[in-house]
Chains A and B, each alone.
Chain A
Amino acid sequence: MNYLFASKVAKRAFIIIACLFVLSYVGTRFFTHIDLALYGYMVGTLVFIGGFLYRFSAWADRPPTNVILKKGLRLLFRKSTANTTVDHLAIYRFIWNRGWYRWTQHILLGWGCILAAFVTFPLVFGWMYFTMTDNGYYQVVFMGVDVLTVQADGWVAFLFYNALNITAFMVIGGAVMALYRRYKNMQARAEQSFVYDFLPLYLLLFISVTGLMLTASNMFLGGFGHPVISVTHQFAVIVTLIYLPFGKLAHIPFRPMSVFARNYREHYGEQEMKKCKVCSNEFVSAEQSADVINVLGKNEMAFQMEEGFHLAELCLPCRRKYRMFRFTGVPTHEINAREANQHAKG
């Protein structure tokens, strides 16, 4: 099987495209229900997949990333995975702990984008479409199966029709909050750059506003300017998709790694903890300590000390005290005293 492809990237690309093709074949009832108005988005998505695989492969080949990815995949079916996933990827508890403003902004942006993607991608690939059955009723077809019949003027149908309008308002709200924070917050102002921090927000705003303009044109202007707005909206979406793997938005597809990392720490923490070579306190899993030493070795960093330990085998306070020893010659790390007064009150 491996001889068939020039590289891992080629293999992954082939598998993904083949899966999409098969799913679309089934979902569109053997290509009888393709929405050709969305053809441009399909091409854009395929280019996005190419870019994403390129970025992902470059990233997954880095030694530390590789370790977490491989071990994370092996540990995917832990009991706590479901909990951690909801915590990290759905309700963003860790962002709540960074502040309610950032949490609100992220819930709006994050869920706005995810819900919009759940609506648009199935539509683009023909996995989901709507037909009319009886007069006044709407049929939702998903993967070629009739899943739901709703009243055409009912509230469920209303949510279907307006799903992208609702998510557009969510994204606009979130993006405006984020922009406001970027103008006011001192740390954000210190480190931000236009291309990395602002451009994604402007792109999301561009998409949401042109999308809403389509609705406005239909509802209030009798379809005035619809072709132009439609192409502009399509342009905005495709540019964002192609840019996505290379900028700040790349954290969306890469974020599930945080679940891997949590599993990795929990699992190997239960297996065996590493005892500090100086004070014997347990400070990290033995596995992680070994992995870090290994990764540093691959980067030609060997913090192997004359005393016979690697620095990654020392707990953090001992590592700091050991540095005092290296500065002064006084064996501070061997003196059994706790670091005093290290936390200033802000």
Chain B
Amino acid sequence: MGKQVLYIEMDNCIGCRSCLAACTQCGGHDNRNRNYVLDVDPFISRQTIPLMCFHCVNPACARSCPAQAIQIADNGAVLSALVEKCIGCQNCTIACPYGIPKFDEEQNLMYKCDLCYDRTKEGIPPMCASVCPTNTLQWIEEAELEEKRAQIPLANRKWTASHDPDVLEGETNVKISLPGILQGKQKLF
């Protein structure tokens, strides 16, 4: 089995928040969810998009951590702060370009999406992807990702059109496809 990645097909999201509920149930998540579901245009439409850690290849949170508490696992997952190292400065929450890490004042500890490392290191999908009813969140092999990519070839080798510059800040381990429908563009598959 090839390397597997979390792939987010944004315009499938129906805002059911199953992923949030599932997140709380992951082995080490201590009954707290680490992901978000956001309304795109709250007073106009019902479209939602899930937002979770994109697991940057060069994570700003880890770079800004004075205690070297944020480790990167072998599968690219950027883990929650190590409990014995985190000094509670909250630099990571300020540095993250997506606003993902959460902070527990009582425990003086940062926690974030760790791509359900206890599951994904065994090849089991993360909780969010395993419950998503609309295939917004998918846990797929890289080969399958390439197939999906090949279905919608665009001149600029991007997935679907969106405004420039790139929608993410730097390369990420989580792959996304943008909501083309929202911009009046039909998906080709």
Contact = CB atoms under 8 A, between A and B. Distances in A.
The size class of the interface chain A forms with chain B is: 35 or more
Interface in B89-124: 89-91, 93-100, 104, 106-109, 117-118, 121
A74 interface: no
A320 B37 CA distance: 10
A261 interface: yes
Interface in A308-327: 311-312, 314-321, 323-324, 326-327
Contacts of B27: 186-187, 189-190
Given A62-B66, A191-B79, A320-B98, A251 B162 contact: no
B161 to A, nearest CB: 10
A93 to B, nearest CB: 9
A253 B169 CA distance: 35
A346 B28 contact: no
A339 B65 CA distance: 27
A181 B17 CA distance: 32
Nearest to A318: B99
Given A186-B28, A284-B90, A326-B167, A344 B20 contact: yes
A3 B107 CA distance: 45
A262 to B, nearest CB: 7
Contacts of A260: 87
Nearest to B38: A324
Contact of A317 (B88, B99, B121): B99
B3 interface: no
Given A292-B94, A292-B95, A319-B98, A328 B49 contact: yes
A327 B48 CA distance: 11
A94 B109 contact: yes
Nearest to A339: B38
Given A64-B66, A94-B109, A185-B28, 10 more contacts: A94-B88, A94-B107, A258-B87, A261-B88, A299-B64, A301-B60, A311-B169, A315-B99, A327-B10, A332-B42
The 10 closest A-B CB pairs, nearest first, are: A187-B28, A346-B31, A190-B118, A186-B27, A346-B24, A319-B99, A261-B89, A94-B108, A258-B87, A344-B20
11 contacts: A65-B67, A65-B68, A88-B108, A95-B107, A98-B107, A187-B27, A251-B85, A258-B87, A288-B89, A327-B178, A341-B37
